Amino acid sequence: MKCRYMDYLINCELDSLPNEKSEKINKHISTCMDCRNYLGALMISKKYIAKEPEMDKYFYMRVINAIDPDRYKKSKLTFKILSSLERLKPAFKASLGTLAVFVAVALLITGGIFDNLGNWIAKSSNNRSNTGETTNLTFLRTDGQNIVTGTGEIFHIRGVTLTNNFWGNWVNGESEKLQSQGMDPIIRPLVQDAWVLTDDDFERIKDLGCNTVLYDINYQLFAEDNPNREENLKKLKEHIRRFSSMDIYTAVMLMAPPGLDSINDAYEKYKHGSERIKSVFEDDTYYEQWVEMWKYLAEELKDFKGVAGYGLINQPRAPSESEGGIGIFRERLNNVCREIRKIDKNHIIFVPEYNSREANPGESYWNEKTNSYVIDNGEQGIIWERGLVKVDSSNVVYLFHFFEPYNFVNDGVGDFDAESLEAQVRKRYEWAKNVGRAPLLTEYGISRVNSVDKRVQWLETVHDIFDKYGISASYFQYKNAVGAFINVKTGFNALYGEYVSWDSEIGLNPFYFVNEHVATSAKENHFDEALKEYYLKGKNLKKISILDNQPILETLQNFWK
């Protein structure tokens, strides 16, 4: 027989019962199983209904990509009238005659005489920023020796560099040919490799805790004659939007300009100056291509709040005096800044120090072939000297690389001392102060050839120095490919290693290298050890690993706090 309380329980709103009634019900359910079971089931039902399942937090971006962002810009007036008519619907129902009149008026307005006005409104509103970003970020700018946000708060870049495999890949057929000619065999990409920034990477970067990514590009991606240029731009914008939505700035850094770059220089630096690939400071065509690329990107990115700025060029080399020397170096940097500023007045421009310069006749330089100092006789030998050069543009941050002492950081030879490191930073800080109080950004990192303890010690030391002088800094780098042909010790300072080429190098179940050549290279590059330790988990392969870099990450995260 049904309990007489049951109907009462079903009808009443249990959450809003006065205390005395709740007490009565509690007393009742302690003795009535049906009512107790019903109330239990109801409470569970409520919890079940209210519990939101896990979903993609970035779902809203899918929606934003699916809608027409200009819908309410094109015809604001039309929508205002339609909106008013919607609200008057109940009144229309009262009089069909009135409705007919209103419809006629609406058609006249929306389709006729106000079109010109509507178009004018649309044009005015199209000038406003519309990047599709959903972010709290504001345009960064310089203020004295600081970078500040749109609200004037001091902002230190605490970033990580995404190299994005900008140097490219070995391309069978083409690469062998280049190599046989003594040229760099690695071909710069025309499309960014899919593996360099996956959904998992975005999640991982979000969790790192950095406030900026230095997003590396190569000229060829945005060259005028690249048929994929528009697609590449779309992808870049999408990546900027994703980082923006996480409140992470993106600094777009040109790592490989047309002509001489830091990668092909590994081959070019040994050559006579007359045979060497020219740089944008020496060759007019390369220079024009370089400027054109920045004008294109500045036009397309000028309204993005999530863009921290533009890094003009990586590790440039100043030409010898016969080709214009430091003068042409400064002039062309000034010109590219001026061209960007004509289009984009918002974003910071990162101007690098020259990383080396070509020797003039009579100057001595270190000859890497003979391993000795020699006097230049017109061959434009490389002098590994660095220097910042003032440009006339506003909103400029000067950029320097900090991998010091070189032999220790890159090869694990010798040690470092904090005083000497600080002196090198202080020198640049004073220079920037004297040229008009400009801020500095550094890119820094340390190779895995050093022990974890030593790497942490070095990082903590340089972090203290960067903090002391208020210098923005980006750790080089977030992720790199690992594989049998990459030295996982000496050539690797990335936080994460992704085994991109595994399917062409190994087989699984049971594990084997596909051939002797791969096996030998893996051994030579210490990759066979890394593979066993970090990538092979039982019968499974883990494609990405932080290797032994967890303490490195924690040290960075302490700095980023």
Partner 1 sequence: MLDESTLISNTLNGDIQSFALLVQAYQGQLYNFIYKMTKSKEDTEDILQDVFVKVYNNLYKYNNNYRFSTWIYSITLNTIKSSLKKKKLRPSGCNIDDFIEEIPSFDDSPELLIEVKEHYKEIIEIIDSLKEKQKTAFILRYIRDFSYKEIGKIMGISQEAAKMKVHRAKSILAKKIAGMRKEGDFE
Least distance CB 209 / partner 1 (angstroms): 22
- Rounded Cα–Cα distance for residues 201 and 196 (Å): 8
Q: Of 405, 416, 413, 480, which is closest to residue 444 (Cα–Cα)?
A: 405
387 DSSP β-pair partners: 354
Least distance CB 207 / partner 1 (angstroms): 19
At 40, give phi and psi (nearest 5°).
Answer: -60, -45
60 belongs to the binding site for partner 1 (CB under 8 A): yes
Least distance CB 561 / partner 1 (angstroms): 25
Q: Based on CB atoms, which residue is closest to partner 1, 38 or 296?
A: 38
Q: Of 376, 246, 391, 256, which is closest to residue 327 (Cα–Cα)?
A: 391
Q: Is 66 helix (H, G, I), strand (E, B) or coil?
A: helix
Among 22, 23, 27, 43, binds partner 1 (CB under 8 A): 43
Q: Of 400, 498, 484, 402, which is closest to residue 165 (Cα–Cα)?
A: 498
Q: Which stretch binds partner 1 (CB under 8 A): 54-62, 162-170, 229-237, 288-296?
A: 54-62
34 belongs to the binding site for partner 1 (CB under 8 A): yes
- Tell which positions 290-349 bind partner 1, by CB under 8 A: none
16 belongs to the binding site for partner 1 (CB under 8 A): no
- Residue 280: burial class (beta carbons within 10 Å; 0-12, 13-18, 19+): buried
3-state SS string for 370-437: CCEEEECCCCCCEECCCECCCCCCCCEEEEEEECCCHHHHHHCCCCCCHHHHHHHHHHHHHHHHHCCC
Tokens of 49: 């209904």
Q: Based on CB atoms, which residue is closest to partner 1, 48 or 97?
A: 48
Q: Based on CB atoms, which residue is closest to partner 1, 44 or 375?
A: 44
Among 4, 31, 128, 180, binds partner 1 (CB under 8 A): 128
Tokens 């006579």 -> residue: 272
4 belongs to the binding site for partner 1 (CB under 8 A): no
- Rounded Cα–Cα distance for residues 380 and 367 (Å): 11
134 belongs to the binding site for partner 1 (CB under 8 A): yes
Q: Based on CB atoms, which residue is closest to partner 1, 69 or 327?
A: 69
Q: Of 289, 361, 301, which is closest to residue 332 (Cα–Cα)?
A: 289
- Rounded Cα–Cα distance for residues 176 and 165 (Å): 20
Least distance CB 298 / partner 1 (angstroms): 22
Least distance CB 26 / partner 1 (angstroms): 8
Among 17, 22, 23, 37, binds partner 1 (CB under 8 A): 37
| Cβ neighbours around 410 below 10 Å, total | 18
309: left (phi over 0), alpha (psi -120 to 50) or beta: left
**Side-chain half-sphere of 375: how many Cα atoms within 13 Å?**
3
Among 4, 11, 173, 561, binds partner 1 (CB under 8 A): 11
- Rounded Cα–Cα distance for residues 424 and 403 (Å): 11
Among 20, 31, 55, 369, binds partner 1 (CB under 8 A): 55
Among 8, 38, 195, 502, binds partner 1 (CB under 8 A): 38
79 belongs to the binding site for partner 1 (CB under 8 A): yes
Q: Based on CB atoms, which residue is closest to partner 1, 135 or 142?
A: 135
Question: Which amino acid is located at 274 in the chain?
Answer: S
Instruction: Render 496-507 in DSSP notation, one character per residue.
Output: EEEETTHHHHEE
Residues in the chain: 561
Q: Based on CB atoms, which residue is closest to partner 1, 55 or 96?
A: 55
22 belongs to the binding site for partner 1 (CB under 8 A): no
373 belongs to the binding site for partner 1 (CB under 8 A): no
94 belongs to the binding site for partner 1 (CB under 8 A): no
Q: Of 82, 84, 102, 83, which is closest to residue 92 (Cα–Cα)?
A: 102
Among 4, 33, 509, 516, binds partner 1 (CB under 8 A): 33
6 belongs to the binding site for partner 1 (CB under 8 A): yes
Q: Based on CB atoms, which residue is closest to partner 1, 69 or 507?
A: 69
SS3 content of the chain, % helix, strand, coil (to 5): 45, 15, 40
Residue 256 host element (H or E): strand 249-256
Among 22, 23, 27, 42, binds partner 1 (CB under 8 A): 42
* CB-based contact 250:197 (threshold 8 Å): no
Among 66, 94, 96, 113, binds partner 1 (CB under 8 A): 66
Least distance CB 150 / partner 1 (angstroms): 14
Among 4, 31, 56, 113, binds partner 1 (CB under 8 A): 56
Question: Which amino acid is located at 138 in the chain?
Answer: T
51 belongs to the binding site for partner 1 (CB under 8 A): yes
Least distance CB 307 / partner 1 (angstroms): 16
36 belongs to the binding site for partner 1 (CB under 8 A): yes
194 belongs to the binding site for partner 1 (CB under 8 A): no
83 belongs to the binding site for partner 1 (CB under 8 A): yes
76 belongs to the binding site for partner 1 (CB under 8 A): yes
Question: Which residues in this chain contact partner 1 in the complex, by CB under 8 A?
Answer: 2, 6, 9-11, 30, 33-34, 36-38, 40-53, 55-56, 59-64, 66-67, 69-73, 76, 79-80, 82-83, 86-87, 125, 128, 130, 132-135
